[in-house]
A and B are shown apart, each in its own frame.
Chain A
Amino acid sequence: MMTTTQFTQAITFIFLKPFFMRKKISFIMILIAGATVFTSCKSVKEYQKSRINDADMVLKARLSEKPELNFQTYREGAAGANGGKTGGGCGCN
């Protein structure tokens, strides 16, 4: 099991190094873009959501994407944050 110190070091490494040290400018740009999108949000009533509720507008992976998310998990080093699996599953070769 990972110790508390190792866990803290890993969190620090993951969060601080890429964003604040090496990619400070990118991070600031992301913040500005995010703030712009948030401040431009309008209150949308239920009866105005016909387009938002369209099946192709759903904010997650489609049902038909599930098998491809699985094989990508095993053929690539990165996984998660896309509706795919983060654990469990098979000992694929």
Chain B
Amino acid sequence: MMFLQGYSQYSKHRDSVYEPKPLRLDEINLVESYYNQEGNHSAILGGIGNEHVTDLSNGLDIKFVGWDQHGSKHTIGAGLGIDHHTAASAAFVSKTGASKTPGTRVYPSVNWNVENVKGNSFGIGAYYSTEYNYKSIGLEINAGRKISSNTEVSGKLSAFFDKVKLIYPSELIPQSTVVQTSPNTITTASGRTIRSGGDDEGDDDNKVYIPSSPRNTYTASLTLSQIVNTRMQFAITTDLVAQDGYLGLPFHRVYFNDGSVHVENLPSSRLKLPVGFRLNYFLGDYFIIRSFYRYYVDNWGIRSNTAELELPVKVKSFFSVAPFFRYYSQTASTYFAPYMSHTSADQYYTSNYSLSKLTSNFFGVNLHLAPSEGVFNSHITALDLRYGHYTQSTDLYSNIVTLALTFK
């Protein structure tokens, strides 16, 4: 009897503590950025072309939060991103320079996450991205476990299923072939395929059908977060990434040493292993040291080191100024060679300078403003304004300005 009474009291206690709360709008994040780049090693022209790029990026994330009868916190998020870019080199997909230079990418996403009273969490997410020459579908599952109040382990599995539209440089469009996937579709595998037969036959709007090739990416991530003391914490993250499919881009030219021109050809699989270490330290009452180091290795021959240091200064409790500096270096991929350096004996070849030996520096400042009464007494609870200047040893340089707003 005493046992039942005790159980009854326990149940009442649970009900009173874990009262369900319906989902409500918790947070809106808005991220706007403008990116401007100059360089002269465009892969579209085989490593010698103009790399001028501008990109206007807009991202919106909405987060709803609610609690169930077990006290678990449910978070449902939805995001939408729209990027608009212009790339000078894109004009030269056509040999005459008549191709379009602007493009737009749209990428919505949704996710659901549940965290129980012990701090353990589980979540799933889906992502989609579309632009003229590239489409991507992504799925994600993640879980986190609090080992103690100071230690947390989380893992994530994600898969991206992409389609690369086979748009070749105009002078390299392959000869006619039969597309195997459809009996009504014949002609070039290049991007110049015309439907014949079936419902489309004879229509005036028989449009040029450009086939695609798949690219799949599978990632397994593991993160350990640890609070060391009241001022220091760190996290170790590793992502094991496996890719297969069409891993180059069909409009990238490669000029061989005999003067002939070819479409970039890269292996159909790639394995990457980055390991990142982040350590943050609160120094005194006004300074914070944010540090990051990453070692990266892949089976295309790239080894890379990244070191980043950011030093936020607390001007006020709600306002910080954070100068930052990032140094990056990498070895060249086995498959890279500059303009007119590859030979006909090479099985794989590219003149994409992102796969060359390079170093880069990135520096700038981040302003963070988060007053308790809201920014300028509005619903904006946090404002970040960030500027960065990027230089690469390949003569590429760029500037980026980002504004991030959080509404509550």
Contacts and interface: CB of A to CB of B under 8 A. Distances in A.
Contacts of B193: none
Interface in A49-93: 49, 51-52, 54-60, 62-68, 70-72, 74-82, 86-93
Interface of B is mostly: strand
Nearest to B44: A93
B355 A82 contact: no
Interface in A28-56: 37-38, 40-46, 48-49, 51-52, 54-56
A66 B237 CA distance: 17
Given A44-B149, A44-B227, A78-B304, A14 B164 contact: no
A67 B90 contact: no
B354 A93 contact: no
B35 A67 contact: yes
A82 B294 contact: yes
Interface in B299-314: 299-300, 302-304, 306, 312, 314
B370 interface: yes
Contact size range, B: 35 or more
Do most interface residues of chain A lie in helix, strand or loop, or is the interface mixed? loop
Given A56-B322, A62-B384, A93-B251, A77 B368 contact: no
A44 B227 CA distance: 8
Chain A's interface size range is 35 or more
A1 interface: yes
A67 B241 contact: no
B341 interface: no
Given A52-B233, A57-B280, A80 B35 contact: no
Nearest to B164: A91
A21 interface: no
Interface string B368-408: 10100000000000101110101010001010101110100
B366 to A, nearest CB: 6
B226 A52 contact: no
Interface stretch (B68-76, B125-133, B195-203): B125-133
Interface string B211-235: 0000001110100011111110111
Contact of A90 (B131, B217, B297): B131
Nearest to A91: B134
A20 interface: no
Given A7-B242, A57-B280, 17 more contacts: A6-B269, A14-B271, A18-B303, A44-B150, A48-B230, A56-B368, A58-B280, A64-B385, A64-B404, A66-B59, A71-B390, A71-B400, A72-B328, A74-B354, A77-B298, A87-B159, A93-B42
Interface of A: 1-2, 6-7, 10-11, 13-15, 18, 37-38, 40-46, 48-49, 51-52, 54-60, 62-68, 70-72, 74-82, 86-93
12 contacts: A10-B271, A11-B271, A56-B280, A76-B358, A77-B333, A78-B272, A78-B330, A82-B274, A82-B294, A86-B272, A89-B136, A90-B83
- The 8 A-B residue pairs whose C-beta atoms are closest, nearest first, are A87-B217, A81-B276, A91-B134, A81-B274, A87-B160, A78-B296, A67-B33, A78-B304
